[in-house]
Amino acid sequence: GQSLEQPSEVTAVEGAIVQINCTYQTSGFYGLSWYQQHDGGAPTFLSYNALDGLEETGRFSSFLSRSDSYGYLLLQELQMKDSASYFCAVLDSNYQLIWGAGTKLIIKP
């Protein structure tokens, strides 16, 4: 079966750096996406990696290793507004997004 594994919850301190990992097992792979979802809101796109390596967008970076079926989202200079759930999702060979269960990021002052 297809599956994505990510931690259910991560806690960090304001101003710190946090990494959210995602491992996947899917039928085919086109790319790994990350989405942010605040409580009561809709998912919003953060990043997409199709090739190995690190993609940086402001305070957020995303990494992919296709050989390890692994990726991570790195959030720097954490702010209270970053408190949200973060989802990884893989675009599989059927061009469908397979979603992880999400990681709740708790930020403490």
Which residues are at the interface with another protein (CB under 8 A)?
A: 4, 8, 30-31, 33, 35, 41-45, 48, 50, 87, 89, 91, 95-97, 99-102
Q: Which residues pair with 33 in a beta bridge?
A: 48, 89
Q: Which is nearer to another protein, 78 or 89 (CB)?
A: 89
Smallest gap, in angstroms, from Cβ of residue 19 to another protein? 19
Q: How many CB atoms lie within 10 A of CB 78?
A: 19
Burial 89-104 (b: 16+ CB within 10 A, else e): bbbbeeeeebebebbe
**Residue with smaller CB distance to another protein, 48 or 70:** 48
> Which of residues 33 and 78 has its CB atom nearest to another protein in the complex?
33
Cβ proximity to another protein, 20 vs 33, nearer residue? 33
User: What span, in angstroms and rounded, lies between the C-alpha atoms of 92 and 2?
Assistant: 9
Least distance (Å) from another protein to the CB of residue 109? 26
Distance in Å, CB of 22 to another protein, minimum: 11
Q: How far is CA 59 from CA 18, 75, 76, 95, in A?
A: 11, 6, 5, 29
